[in-house]
Structure 1
Amino acid sequence: MMLDNRSMHLLSILQHSSTPLSMKQLVEQMNVSQRTIYYDLERINDWLKEKSLPPVQRDRGKGLFLQTESKEIINEPAPQQKWHYHFSPEERRLLISASLLMQPEQASMQHWMEITWVSRGTVANDVKQVKKEFANSGLDLSYKKNTGYQLEGPEETKRRYLSDLFSTVLSQSESDTIRSEIQKMVWNTESKSDDLNRETVKQLLFETEKDMGMTFTDAMVEALALQVVTMLSRIKEQQLVTVNPEEKEVLSQTKAYQGAVHLSKSLQEHFDMEIPTEETYFLTMALLGSKVHHDEFPERTEEELKGLRQVIQRMIHDFQTYACVVFDNVKELENNLMAHLKPTYYRLKYNVTPSNEWSSQIKEKYSEIYRLTQRTIYHLEYFVGTSIPEEEIAYIAIHFGGWLTREKKQVETRYKAVIVCENGIGTSNMVKTQLENMVIGLEITATLSIREFHEFKEPVDVIFSTNYIKPKETPVIHVPVIMKNHDKEHVLKQMNELFENPSNAMSKNEKLLALVEKHATIHNKDALLEDLDLFFEQKTPTRKELDQPMLTDLLVSENIAVRDSVSDWEEAVRLASAPLLEQHAIEESYVEAMIQSVKELGPYIVIAPRIAIPHARPEAGVNKLSMSLLRLKEPVWFSEKEKHKAQLIFVLAAIDNQTHLKALSQLTEILSSEESITKLIESDDQQEIVDLIQNQLVEQ
């Protein structure tokens, strides 16, 4: 029998989990109903039975899991246990595209029917879609009776298309099947010598890393290896790229070019073939656009992209202004963004499409951070001369999000840990901050790629990994990049089981079940526990939602003052702060800190014409999250410049870097309309302002 994409995804989740997973967790991860999970489990168990493997097991009160025997067989299938995977339409199109680009001699309806296991009619429809996708990239797919399918277009376009295809395939988390099929086309794994070549290419890439002073992500090494082998194959077939002289001049000044020259020479020696100079330049583009896990930031970085650091500094400044926060260790954030944005710059410059499987999750869960990042992105767009894709914005938002969620340690370290993550600096930092903020006394001593982890010797108490790692002496807790409430509960429960009294790990629903059991007969404990988990997960607001009040919760009528004019900006700040002082939401020291900040840093609080948002650090005297407003008929000047006068002065008293973001995001949305600003200024009393804000939020 065949497993479809969804069933294979579920099997993969169970295979890579080191602990049992509850029905609630599976419903969340799969984003399907409980009934669908049960249906897929039946298919998986039938498939396992067909392979003479134990079915999915259920641990009472804990969840579902695969026995080690099943995991190992699935992970390394023997020839006699070969099985058929049901490719999704997108995966079929990827296979057909790869076949046309890498195996044109086999490009036929019959061949595609054999590798995708679907009918001629289905393949025909897929080919029509592939033809459109090629056309959108500047390639023409045609069919002639005598010659068959022909793909025509510039060799550079074909290589970039393949590069994008590799990135897409390597980012697929549902199944390894599509990945292995594409790799088979590239590596031709039938021969042992090709296996040796695979390791040779990777080893040469590791040497190139050292030349460039950086560490590529694990996924990037795989993608680059595929690109290099494809390049060698195309050179043998005399399918060569060309690079214009202007680009050569720019590329030759980069450190990546030196790495590409060294790599080309090594490839020539190992494979006894000539690498044309044009190919070395094209290889430079691939190296420049590669995601990194670490970058040593030598002086050459500044020489390559002198303007990029200034762009990053402006983005950080704007983000802090719009978010009304002050980052600690700004230089470290600047360096992290530099390591990420340097390859981003070259990806944009050379039209390399990014792949970010978490972008939609980032936009959904960290919507305020994503929108704040969007407001700063124009600096980068101006610098690179093109619009920034949503996937790249999401990656940048990860960096800012990691810094926003950082909290100063106020307890001594109890556990030391490392994070293993193959997806680069920003993703690793996001995982790090989520864990350190969640587990009291946890210190993350390092973030490692899988390669670095295998060489890591320092003792730690626990390993957190976004990839499947087989536990050895040190316990491993597998975590997703974006952790939902149930993921956090799972981590805390495992930490309790590892380091605390196991009885403390009992969930609230398990305790409720034990209480019910004292007074009633329960016929199916596991099913009832799963239903309770689902019920309370759906009915109870998440902690994040509870902690982030709406704008209307903060800006109530008693916090609004209406005046015609003031003598100067200092009086405006004091009058705007008065309601919060009266409520003891802030101390007088906070008012003085806001005024002093303007004196020292200038009128940065005037975020737009007619609007100022005075604020200072929480430790300056904030007792609770609060907001107030002073509306002036006559503008007050925060400097001599016209752009620094304001009539709406919103005082924000934040208790941390996150809790105020929802309210601030809603306020920003309202103030993005000139009409709304004018209406607020023309309002006659507090209640009219409150009503106007409520109406605007309803319209959003």
Structure 2
Amino acid sequence: MDKDILLLMKFLSKKSFITLADIENSLEITRRQAKYRIQKLNDLLNEEKVTPILISSSNTKDIVVSDDTKKVINSLLKDIDQNDVYYLSKKERLIYMYLMLFINKDHLTLNDFIDSLQVSRSTVLLDLKELTQTLEEINIHIKNDRKRGYYLVGSEMEIRRFMMKNVIYTLADEDNNKVFDIFINDFYLDDFTYSKVYISELAEKHNIRFVENRLIEFIYIFIFLNTRMQSEKYSSDEIVGLIDIDAMSYMKEYKFSYELLKKYNTTENITKADVNYIAAWILGISFGDINEDTKDCVLISDLIGKMMTRFESLSGVHYKNTEEIFIQLYSHFRPAYYRLLFKLPIFNPVCDKVKEEYPELYQLVEQTMKPFNIIFGEEIPAGEIAYLTMHFSTIYSGKKGINIEKQKTALVVCSNGIGSSAILYNELASMFPELHFLSPIDSSKLSDFSEKVDIIFATNYLENIPNINIPIIHVSPVMSIAERYQVMREVYMQLGSGFLKKTNVDVVMDIISKHADIQNRDALYNELINYFSEIDNISNKDKENELHLLDMVRENIIRLNIEAENWEEAVRLSYEPLLENGFITQKYIDETVRIMNSVGPYVVITKHTALLHTKPESGALSCAMGIGVLKNPINFGSIEHDPIKYIFSLSAIDNHTHLCAMAELLELFNDDKFFMFLDTANDSEEVIEYIKSNININ
């Protein structure tokens, strides 16, 4: 089959809501090429006697694929002859070449590359040059000498990490395992099917639960890693140097890993360090269960407690269901801890989307996690920050407590794991309060699922559905405005609710187009979607409700050269302008002091700086941010950050209106010049002008 058509089919099979622009961007082709490929695919579908793929006449050029057509596409993908001639793309050739180097084959020559890839010498040399440049960016080098041929030099952890990234990103982003199957076959490595059977049985024995997509990743990575380990390429010295790994030998993941390695290696070749490495990897793709008695529970819980406290301090957000929030964060952060500690990669397909949908929240979470960088020896990757952002977005999104009798039951099926199902569950539950959502499951468990459900939300196309009459809605872990609207339309159409009586945005757009000149169609379309769908989501609040720092800071609540004898007097004097101008009540001040007397200096957030705040219901009347500078610094009781000189007094009426302002304030905190300016500022007007000149307002 034509590879271009194959890629289009795979893309269509994975998505629920698609536009022509999505196809162009994802496949990196022109609109003309996209339409041509759709026509070619329709010619193929015509032979199957199903509805062709349509391009709507709407402004967004939606791609319309019927359920029957999607089933045929997935059936064709499944039935593609595995023996068809397959030509590796350039990207796949680079992966193949790296795997040749990774398995540490004896005396690897240029001719070995040429013979294995079946390409010209010049192509191999160009590819080898590009691969060399890519690897050197992460301090891995390709060496060549007469005795050993081509081989890799660098940190064994980084060499493994790059292999794992290749596998994870290729499987997740492109849904294509062909290059790995070809490589395994060419070099007579462990059979994938046999490995899957054995690993699945061993996992069941040790009560290890793999999400389906993670299991596939694990098998491919283990096949390649085990081959390298058999060539005596261990990473013992690097792994032994990591902290807190003694506790792992008591875990079920360690016992699973030891037995797995024992199966594929002679016992004397197995080191504790490499068992730890495999065990950490399994921990890194599992769910954290707070109810499971593990040796690391106290350590992980302590880190999460510090994370929650710091986020609360930086954001001014106050938790209402602390225990529930803790459990949700534990489920994600325990595996994240081991990924970060052992430098294991993770693929977050919605990282860019999270940054776009929740920019201020992402920045706050990023700042929250900065002190934890020292534990892991490097900055926490954007993908991990994005996953934590997704969790925090569900914690305080300001969902309305709608009391509706739930008549229909929904199920969330997610193949990605790593907290994605919990995140998607929360978002869908807020969108459809009239549905009763069962606990989410991964796709591998669907065939054994017996409870009655009325509708299924799934991130992937599902095979072997237990009841073909159940409508299935395909969703993304993080949905854009248009995707939310499309999902709402699909749900209400499937369940027969009153949504069909509501206004159709495409129809409204067509009517407006007949009678008016639209200056910005995309902006109008998105605003109409927001208005008609009434989705209660923090990222889509009207701009008029989103406060910037300059909306909250005023000249009359800025105090310079405050004279105070102790921390309590400093707190009360800093709050005083907010009280005098009607932003807070006396109770708000008293509650802050009471909590500080009870739990300590929770308001101290960084060197010499405090951010005063307490729960909105304690007396916050409207949003404001006071700025105070002490004439003489005072100890607040923070060993790390005392003495305190700069005091910011926050009044927030909810958990989200002020977040944009907080993100802008953190920008100022990250610039030492801001505090140097406060030391020399003469009046409030100067402070306002400085803020105007030094923050970015989008």
Short-chain TM bin: 0.7 to 0.9
2:430 maps to a residue whose letter is N
Give CA deviations for 1:647-695 in whole Å, capped at 9, x if unaligned.
5443322233333222111112213334322423543333222112111
Q: Name the CA distance, whole Å, in 2 between partners of 1:86 and 1:469.
A: 28
Structure 2 residue aligned with 1:217 = 211
Q: What is the CA-CA distance between 1:307 and the residue it aligns to?
A: 3.7
Structure 2 residue aligned with 1:462 = 455
Q: Name the CA distance, whole Å, in 2 between partners of 1:91 and 1:276.
A: 36
Q: Name the CA distance, whole Å, in 2 between partners of 1:186 and 1:545.
A: 53
Q: Name the CA distance, whole Å, in 1 between partners of 2:541 and 2:6.
A: 32
Contact 2:287 2:334 in 1 (8 A): no
Structure 1 residue aligned with 2:690 = 692
Structure 2 residue aligned with 1:112 = 117
Q: Give the direction of change, closer, same or farther, for the CA distance of 1:619–1:44 in structure 2 (3 Å limit).
A: same
Deviates more, 1:548-557 or 1:429-438: 429-438
TM-score (norm 1): 0.79
Deviates more, 1:404-413 or 1:471-480: 404-413
Q: Name the CA distance, whole Å, in 2 between partners of 1:657 and 1:209.
A: 42
Contact 1:23 1:530 in 2 (8 A): no
For residues 608-619 of structure 1, the aligned pairs below 5 Å read: 608-619=606-617
The secondary structure found in structure 1 opposite 2:63 is: strand
Q: Does residue 206 in structure 1 map to residue 203 in structure 2?
A: yes
Structure 2 residue aligned with 1:93 = 94
Q: Give the direction of change, closer, same or farther, for the CA distance of 1:587–1:459 in structure 2 (3 Å limit).
A: farther
Contact 2:351 2:382 in 1 (8 A): yes
Match of 1:604 among 568, 580, 602: 602
Match of 1:318 among 307, 310, 322: 310
Match of 1:628 among 611, 620, 626: 626
Give CA deviations for 1:198-248 in whole Å, capped at 9, x if unaligned.
4413423532550xxx5333332112222344466668xx52444649949
Give CA deviations for 1:413-442 in whole Å, capped at 9, x if unaligned.
635433222333433333233333333445
Structure 1 residue aligned with 2:64 = 65
Structure 1 residue aligned with 2:486 = 490
Contact 1:255 1:300 in 2 (8 A): no
Q: Give the direction of change, closer, same or farther, for the CA distance of 1:78–1:394 in structure 2 (3 Å limit).
A: closer
Q: What is the CA-CA distance between 1:168 and the residue it aligns to?
A: 2.8
For residues 304-383 of structure 1, the aligned pairs below 5 Å read: 304=296, 307-383=299-375
2:438 maps to a residue whose letter is T
Structure 2 residue aligned with 1:438 = 431
Structure 1 residue aligned with 2:259 = 262
2:125 maps to a residue whose letter is A
Contact 1:15 1:71 in 2 (8 A): yes
Contact 1:561 1:686 in 2 (8 A): yes
Contact 2:156 2:234 in 1 (8 A): yes
Contact 1:633 1:647 in 2 (8 A): yes
Structure 2 residue aligned with 1:523 = none
Q: Give the direction of change, closer, same or farther, for the CA distance of 1:651–1:493 in structure 2 (3 Å limit).
A: farther
Q: What is the CA-CA distance between 1:466 and the residue it aligns to?
A: 2.0
Q: Name the CA distance, whole Å, in 1 between partners of 2:340 and 2:609.
A: 35
2:77 maps to a residue whose letter is N
Q: Name the CA distance, whole Å, in 1 between partners of 2:27 and 2:183.
A: 32
Q: Give the direction of change, closer, same or farther, for the CA distance of 1:198–1:689 in structure 2 (3 Å limit).
A: same
The secondary structure found in structure 2 opposite 1:76 is: helix
2:62 maps to a residue whose letter is G
Give CA deviations for 1:287-316 in whole Å, capped at 9, x if unaligned.
312334434446652x24754433332222
Structure 1 residue aligned with 2:662 = 664
Q: Give the direction of change, closer, same or farther, for the CA distance of 1:176–1:630 in structure 2 (3 Å limit).
A: closer
Over aligned residue pairs, what C-alpha RMSD do you find? 4.5
Q: Name the CA distance, whole Å, in 2 between partners of 1:566 and 1:229.
A: 66
Q: Give the direction of change, closer, same or farther, for the CA distance of 1:625–1:81 in structure 2 (3 Å limit).
A: farther
Q: Name the CA distance, whole Å, in 1 between partners of 2:19 and 2:520.
A: 10
The secondary structure found in structure 2 opposite 1:108 is: helix
Q: What is the CA-CA distance between 1:551 and the residue it aligns to?
A: 0.8
Contact 1:217 1:423 in 2 (8 A): yes
Q: Name the CA distance, whole Å, in 2 between partners of 1:306 and 1:71.
A: 49
Q: Name the CA distance, whole Å, in 2 between partners of 1:129 and 1:25.
A: 29
Q: Give the direction of change, closer, same or farther, for the CA distance of 1:113–1:63 in structure 2 (3 Å limit).
A: same
Q: Name the CA distance, whole Å, in 2 between partners of 1:150 and 1:642.
A: 50
Structure 2: gaps of 5 or more residues: 531-538
1:477 maps to a residue whose letter is I
Q: Give the direction of change, closer, same or farther, for the CA distance of 1:453–1:149 in structure 2 (3 Å limit).
A: farther
TM-score (norm 2): 0.79
Contact 1:614 1:651 in 2 (8 A): yes
Q: Does residue 419 in structure 1 map to residue 412 in structure 2?
A: yes
1:492 maps to a residue whose letter is M
Q: Does residue 478 in structure 1 map to residue 479 in structure 2?
A: no
Q: Name the CA distance, whole Å, in 1 between partners of 2:585 and 2:507.
A: 44
Q: Name the CA distance, whole Å, in 2 between partners of 1:694 and 1:436.
A: 40
Q: Does residue 151 in structure 1 map to residue 143 in structure 2?
A: no
Q: Name the CA distance, whole Å, in 2 between partners of 1:617 and 1:530.
A: 43
Q: Give the direction of change, closer, same or farther, for the CA distance of 1:444–1:554 in structure 2 (3 Å limit).
A: farther
Contact 1:103 1:185 in 2 (8 A): no
Q: What is the CA-CA distance between 1:483 and the residue it aligns to?
A: 1.9
Contact 2:311 2:365 in 1 (8 A): yes
Q: What is the CA-CA distance between 1:17 and the residue it aligns to?
A: 3.7
Q: Name the CA distance, whole Å, in 2 between partners of 1:559 and 1:492.
A: 45
The secondary structure found in structure 2 opposite 1:381 is: helix
Q: Name the CA distance, whole Å, in 1 between partners of 2:488 and 2:62.
A: 16
For residues 149-298 of structure 1, the aligned pairs below 5 Å read: 150-151=150-151, 161-172=162-173, 175-177=174-176, 179-186=177-184, 194=191, 196-207=193-204, 210=207, 214-230=208-224, 239-242=231-234, 244=236, 247=240, 250=246, 252-264=249-261, 267=263, 274=266, 276-278=268-270, 282-290=274-282, 291-297=284-290
Q: Give the direction of change, closer, same or farther, for the CA distance of 1:342–1:634 in structure 2 (3 Å limit).
A: closer
1:165 maps to a residue whose letter is N
Contact 1:160 1:352 in 2 (8 A): yes
Q: Does residue 391 in structure 1 map to residue 383 in structure 2?
A: yes
Q: Name the CA distance, whole Å, in 2 between partners of 1:284 and 1:567.
A: 54
2:204 maps to a residue whose letter is E
Q: What is the CA-CA distance between 1:102 and the residue it aligns to?
A: 5.6
For residues 465-614 of structure 1, the aligned pairs below 5 Å read: 465-469=458-462, 472-499=468-495, 500-514=497-511, 532-533=521-522, 536-537=525-526, 543-544=540-541, 546=543, 547-561=545-559, 564-565=562-563, 573=571, 576-577=574-575, 580=578, 585-614=583-612
Contact 1:497 1:505 in 2 (8 A): no
The secondary structure found in structure 2 opposite 1:216 is: coil
Q: What is the aligned-residue identity percentage?
A: 22
Q: Name the CA distance, whole Å, in 2 between partners of 1:323 and 1:685.
A: 27
Q: What is the CA-CA distance between 1:326 and the residue it aligns to?
A: 2.4
Give CA deviations for 1:99-128 in whole Å, capped at 9, x if unaligned.
5546968943254256xxxx7644431122
Q: Name the CA distance, whole Å, in 1 between partners of 2:646 and 2:626.
A: 10
Q: Give the direction of change, closer, same or farther, for the CA distance of 1:408–1:218 in structure 2 (3 Å limit).
A: farther
Structure 1 residue aligned with 2:78 = 76
Contact 1:670 1:676 in 2 (8 A): yes
Across the two proteins, how many residue pairs are aligned to each other?
A: 664
